[in-house]
Structure 1
């Protein structure tokens, strides 16, 4: 066992953990625990942080939907620490910097515990950075006690997120808490954009923020019906029907692509007669490439903003990223440096207006998601060799391939291609949604759509198992 595990063993033993269930968890019980997990997240997203003095605009508003974050609440940091910790640890393992034998139960458990430890350290680090940057008011005016109180609240909330994710991952519920929280946050944003009863006034009269409510309101109250239709579909002060339609189109497109798959026929070594297939879907790595891309760019943007705020004239800092308020909402956007080219255009008009920036940023997004997707299968237990082992553990083999090496060769023909091409497609869909002006950003819509589709498939599989199916993939 390596030095790394010997060092962290006494530390990780102090971290609260949720043990795997000792009995089979039924469908209804899993539904209950998934619902409780979602309820805890929603409640924490509404409980304000005590001791803060939040003023001014939100410098990180662009990352909140994707990171399941809500400003000024216990969910201030969202899933950012846990995703960042997981990404770093998996990359360290994949690069062989940390040697882990996943077949060794003790090393596997220690590795998972080390991810939790690093997630808590990331929570502390991000919390301190937020406090020192003045996100909750001037630290000198807040006082040492309030700063410690805010940090404690953020740390406890981060621990809650870790435990909720572990609860679902250990089989008490469905799917992953990370994906569930992201999808919930984005769906909430879409519903609010469509049906918000709040009003706004941009100089053309009072209008509802909700695009659907505003559509009927304008048609009823305005004598100029064509002008009312134009405002309902193309207003820029708040969400419009064009954004909502684009969101629906992206959802349907993702659902359509989710059906692209290759079915490999299986046969049971125990003589079962059921016809089963192992499906390799186009989105083989699901939404992980876009989550990893979002986590990486979000952390880069956070660091860049903090540095730029402190050293706005430093050449190297500006090379890393320079920021300016360039929107009517007073929010900061990158206008130069690496961060500028990591930001995809928000509309077709922006792409046409600055094609060089658009092509470079889109190219970087596609490249990063493709690489993340390709490498993720190596560190997440979904490579061809891992799938062969899983099938062997289920006492199932690929029909016509009794030899393990031959079955790996067959899987190698599909899995790496599905991972790479799927990562590329999912990044292009994300960028396309941004260009169309979908509500909640293209990345957010994509994550919500893939998560909903996965949950639908998971419910179907679990229901079949509950009804007595022997095995399913």
Structure 2
């Protein structure tokens, strides 16, 4: 299959953008500068409106997915990382299910195929967005066309949190003029001696409770990132002592399983809404999802949508139970599946240890994979379920940016700090300090 794929892809490889690996050691300072420039470009694109879009003030059908897909409605970043995530999901499923078997020599071919597929999906999604009437009647639109994936997600989430905390924009509400920013609204109420309770519990604008819930979830997720179990290993050639440690994260997951799960939900929403708009009388379409003003009100799309609050959860217990079971099981499944197809499974780790001539004291070499699976497999499922539970909790508490978005932002920032620390240590060692 890889040979057929290579033959099909060869004429298009020249069209796929590619960045060659640096042949020299890149200083940490230069890496930080390029990262900041990339994020600055992303933020500018998130505010640059699409040409020909007259208004985006209506109901946003993808409001709850914006933080996850790092997208901004009506801007150059309308699609966000959706096409990249979807192409990655397709290629991972094909390689994980052995439909496509790729050797190490074909890895560049696989990456090029994924990039080309992402471009095709982006063009297809852009056409579907326009033709579905998301921006209004097609006849009234002008002419326009409308990765650092994890960094974009984290930046988008952090931008949303900061803006909703300190936004100076004002709105006329039930109690007169109100500031959008939760913190500014709190101080405004203190100065004007208005209702302090309004600043904590207002419904239509960000409130202090939402902000505190976001901070709480941030702290919990950051605390979980440090959960690890350390397994002793030693070289087969060593005599006596000389053992070292092999750390395994108990909160064992990466950004990718959550992104893939979110991409599946997002695509299901899009397909369901498109089908319901044109074939609402079909029973299968109704089972997939029923919509009212771009909000799911029935079918599978409704069941996998988070309840808006604890009160909503109590009012619709069956919906809440289905959603919780779906989130826990889906996150556990994707986390466990991801380690199998990403080279982090017990089998892969056991192979790496054998290649390095390392064994676990007190265990036979033939039982190494089985022993590792007790930790890695369990940690993957446990970590996935914890992620699902925290995501549900964040959504019910009204945390800014959705629970999944916060999770991705925290894990990305944590990984950035780890990478920064490793780079700093490597540079200090490189220069002989």
TM, length-normalised to structure 2:
0.92
**Contact 2:235–2:243 (8 Å) recurs in 1:** no
Structure-2 residue corresponding to 1:201: 172
Equivalent runs, 1:201-220 vs 2, <5 Å? 201-220=172-191
Task: Kindly state the Cα deviation for residue 270 of structure 1 after the two structures are TM-superposed.
Answer: 11
Task: Kindly state the Cα deviation for residue 61 of structure 1 after the two structures are TM-superposed.
Answer: 1.7
Q: Aligned pair 1:18/2:19, yes or no?
A: yes
Task: Kindly state the Cα deviation for residue 410 of structure 1 after the two structures are TM-superposed.
Answer: 3.3
Equivalent runs, 1:27-38 vs 2, <5 Å? 27-38=28-39
Equivalent runs, 1:227-242 vs 2, <5 Å? 228-242=195-209
Tell me the SS of whatever aligns to 2:99.
coil
Structure-2 residue corresponding to 1:440: 401
Separation in 2, partners of 1:187, 1:373: 25
> Deviations along 1:142-196, whole A, 9 cap, x unmatched?
37xx2xx32xxx3xxxxxxxxxx2xxxxxxxxxxx11111111111111111111
Structure-2 residue corresponding to 1:54: 55
Structure-2 residue corresponding to 1:40: 41
Q: Aligned pair 1:367/2:329, yes or no?
A: yes
Task: Kindly state the Cα deviation for residue 247 of structure 1 after the two structures are TM-superposed.
Answer: 0.9
**Contact 2:71–2:77 (8 Å) recurs in 1:** yes
Structure-2 residue corresponding to 1:305: 273
After the TM superposition, which of the residue ranges 245-254 and 407-416 deviates more from structure 2? 407-416
Structure-1 residue corresponding to 2:429: 468
Separation in 2, partners of 1:401, 1:202: 69
Structure-1 residue corresponding to 2:134: 135
Q: Aligned pair 1:383/2:345, yes or no?
A: yes
Tell me the SS of whatever aligns to 2:231.
strand
Structure-1 residue corresponding to 2:113: 114
Q: In structure 2, which of residues 64, 76, 85 is the aligned counterpart of residue 83 of structure 1?
A: 85
> Deviations along 1:330-358, whole A, 9 cap, x unmatched?
xx321001101111212111110100000
> Deviations along 1:25-71, whole A, 9 cap, x unmatched?
23222212221221221122122212333353322222111100011
Separation in 1, partners of 2:352, 2:424: 21
> Deviations along 1:208-267, whole A, 9 cap, x unmatched?
111111111101112x5xxx2210111112111111111111111111111111123455
Task: Kindly state the Cα deviation for residue 93 of structure 1 after the two structures are TM-superposed.
Answer: 1.1
**Contact 2:359–2:365 (8 Å) recurs in 1:** no
Q: In structure 2, which of residues 102, 126, 149 is the aligned counterpart of residue 178 of structure 1?
A: 149
Task: Kindly state the Cα deviation for residue 12 of structure 1 after the two structures are TM-superposed.
Answer: 2.8
Task: Name stretches of at least 5 consecutive residues in structure 2 with no aligned partner.
Answer: none
Structure-2 residue corresponding to 1:65: 67
TM, length-normalised to structure 1:
0.84
**Contact 1:54–1:135 (8 Å) recurs in 2:** no
Structure-2 residue corresponding to 1:192: 163
Separation in 1, partners of 2:78, 2:26: 32
Separation in 2, partners of 1:187, 1:454: 16
Q: Aligned pair 1:317/2:282, yes or no?
A: no
Structure-1 residue corresponding to 2:259: 291
> Deviations along 1:278-329, whole A, 9 cap, x unmatched?
321123222322211111000110111122222333332222111113xxxx
**Contact 2:236–2:359 (8 Å) recurs in 1:** no
**Contact 1:70–1:76 (8 Å) recurs in 2:** yes
Shift of the 462–44 alpha-carbon distance from structure 1 to 2, 3 Å rule, reads: same
Q: In structure 2, which of residues 416, 424, 427 is the aligned counterpart of residue 455 of structure 1?
A: 416
Separation in 1, partners of 2:81, 2:90: 14
Shift of the 54–134 alpha-carbon distance from structure 1 to 2, 3 Å rule, reads: farther
Q: In structure 2, which of residues 197, 220, 240 is the aligned counterpart of residue 253 of structure 1?
A: 220
Equivalent runs, 1:388-399 vs 2, <5 Å? 388-390=350-352, 395=356, 397-398=358-359
Q: Aligned pair 1:416/2:377, yes or no?
A: yes
Tell me the SS of whatever aligns to 1:468.
helix
Separation in 2, partners of 1:213, 1:268: 60
Task: Kindly state the Cα deviation for residue 403 of structure 1 after the two structures are TM-superposed.
Answer: 7.8
**Contact 1:324–1:334 (8 Å) recurs in 2:** yes
Structure-2 residue corresponding to 1:160: none
